Structure 1
């Protein structure tokens, strides 16, 4: 080849554009099904460790769900009972005088309260010094803490008392030695039914048991009482005729208005010597105490959930250390850092989800068991179940983030060198 030809060929080769380097193969994108499948395969390889870690999450979620469920069930049961008993009952008790002595409510106080507007019904009981016994051979000091009170015939309408056996005092038998026993009093005296042949020794003579009351949750003092007629108490038990407790039912819309003037109506001369209360407030206060305890238990459930999250993090860190060779092999075959990170993060989320769903089911079971034992309806709020699942996924994501990043940053050559 001549020199001009060689020069021409060299010029042509220099003018020809250089070919671009071959494109790098693109990594296949992982779909949601692939992420779940890869994450699930990692969990199946260590079943016992996965079970223990999921159990830690489940215990925390179950504690939170059961606390919320039991508290909600108790609140619903309280609302149901208050609706049945009524929150419009007010009581008036004699207080103390200015000198510190025990005060008396006027004998006309029941009538004066009945004249107030927005009062549906009013009744009263009066305390006596008499004791009640099963028979006349029992020593007087063994009264079992039972009280004897004079009662008006309209008492059940005001306090919601129910007679489970026999009948209540009426205009006929209230003038004779007849008695109605509260549920606790009847149990302590060994009496389970009323009848003309069933008698108790009350004061210094026999009284016929004409009725037995059901337990009264709103006024538990009536459960331990033996109730006799107002007239017979004055005639045979040295009752002074002063009411010891007045029960008033007000219209639901005007309970607060009646409560404000009830003391002055019961004792116009000394309103400060009349103590007005609302029995349903005691039940509400009890519920507030239960709510405080529930808050404490909810906090303990949160601590248990945090401990479960630490267990998930520990499991994932150990998994990264044990699977260095697998990580290196996948990186060598073209897996990107993002895919490795997604794989381990998916494992952490699946592990947490297993514990979360198991904890929700366990918490629902505990709530149902407690509610069944307490004979009330089980209520588990939907927000509590959804919140439990979200909390587990959040904790699982946080617990698995560092191990996932660590696995993604592992160089393939270093990972393969450990095989």
Structure 2
């Protein structure tokens, strides 16, 4: 009798009836597969979203660039510049600002820059030493600090501005009107001394008194012209939103002992116009952005609804193979998110390029707010998720037999 080998009974393997979970990577591939299966529809749908977001980004960017150009023009009008000058004492005499008034004003937090000039009343400018003393031509001699040009927004028509070296010696910069009166001269005569002309200012809209002046260094005025060091005009630039607050503390800061002897200019009327323009631009940008996002969301919803109608067979097959309603719902939401993300990113890029091209053609600064770039993509994704939710729920509700029979 042959030997018979008895095999042990096969081990029983437990079969789980629970559906497999979709990992994020699986969900991403599944959503991408749905888009790749219909590339033309996906491209056209993403393009529709991109055009809407590009329109929003371009409108916001062009409006912001236009606003930046307006801000630049209004800044040239001195919307944030205040001037401080000595007033009168209680006895009606001309007051004086302390020597350290500029340094104290610079310590005010919102003040961005401060500088000063001082009229040297006893000095006069002549074309040559042969001109009679009484024929001054109305040209004033002004001692100027080195940072004057930056604060008052002035520029040079020719030559150079005073520096740490020339401000100590007989060197002078002529205002635009002064240069026109004296002509093209290499030097002028002041207080029995020849002063070398090192530069000529272009017209200064924010400080027109400089146009008819001859400007010398602070130290040179003290050395050669008997200047006592007291400023007669202080120019201060402040943070635009804090101009009124700065104005309120300028007088007691410039002259703490006698603040009533200080005159402070009021803010420019252009400041109110600037703020009104900013408020109008903000409301316009919010309205246009909301409309563009709404259009993009409708496009996503339309695309996903059509996708559900066309893919009933796929939905029924997946349900028959064990996919849950939640998995089907998540799949369509993922496709909607991917579609929105692609369209939003492409739209933001396209809108930025359009803004740059248009702003360059108008000689504007290219300004696209960060909130428009990030908000365009982020809001599109959120809108896409909301818009894709109804089609996803509709797809999940399809019974397997109904979906397969309809296919």
Whether the 8 Å CA contact 2:80–2:237 is kept in 1: the answer is no
Map of 1:276 onto structure 2 = 265
Question: Could you say if the C-alpha distance between residues 254 and 306 of structure 1 is closer, same or farther in structure 2, counting changes exceeding 3 Å?
Answer: closer
TM-score (structure 2 length as normaliser):
0.56
C-alpha spacing 1:407/1:93, structure 2 compared with 1 (3 Å) = farther
Partner of 1:321: 309
Distance 1:167 1:327, change over 3 A: closer
> What is the alpha-carbon distance in structure 2 between the residues aligned to residue 110 and residue 294 of structure 1?
50
Measure how far apart 1:332 and its partner are. 2.8
Q: Give the Cα separation in 1 of the matches to 2:157 and 2:316.
A: 79
| 1:40 to partner: Cα distance | 1.6
Unaligned runs of 5+ in 2: 1-13, 104-115, 121-136, 187-196, 216-231, 239-244
Instruction: State the Cα deviation string for residues 81-128 of structure 1 (Å, max 9, x = none).
Output: 98xx9967416699xxxxxxxxxx99xx99634347624624479xxx
**Unaligned 5+ residue runs, structure 1?**
1-21, 95-104, 126-147, 198-208, 231-245
RMSD, aligned α-carbons: 5.6
Contact 1:89 1:247 in 2 (8 A): no
Count of residues in correspondence between the two structures: 314
**d(CA) in 2 for partners of 1:149, 1:378:** 46
Distance 2:246 2:171 in 1: 35
Structure 1 residues 363 and 293: alpha-carbon distance in aligned structure 2, compared to 1, 3 A threshold: same
Larger radius of gyration: 1
Instruction: Return the alpha-carbon distance in structure 1 between the equivalents of residues 406 and 138 of structure 2.
Output: 89
Deviation at 1:214, TM superposition (A): 4.5
Contact 1:195–1:210 (Cα < 8 Å) also in 2: no
> Is 1:248 aligned to residue 234 of structure 2?
yes
State the partner residue of 1:112. 95
Answer yes or no: is the 8 Å Cα contact 1:68–1:294 preserved in 2: no
**Residue 59 to residue 302, structure 1, CA distance change in 2 (3 Å):** farther
Deviations 1:377-410 (A, max 9, x none): 86864x6655444322221111011100101111
Cα pair distance change 1:369/1:117, threshold 3 Å: same
The corresponding residue for 2:340 is 352
Note if 1:180 corresponds to 2:175.
Answer: yes
TM-score, L = length of structure 1: 0.55
For 2:62 and 2:43, locate their aligned partners in 1 and report how far apart those are by CA, in whole Å: 25
Displacement after TM superposition at 1:330 (Å): 2.5
- Specify whether residues 377 and 287 from structure 1 end up closer, same or farther in structure 2 by C-alpha distance, changes over 3 A only: farther
1:232-260, Cα deviation, whole Å (9 max, x unpaired): xxxxxxxxxxxxxx742369898643346
Change (3 A) 1:161 1:93: farther
Q: Indicate the SS of the match to 1:277.
A: coil
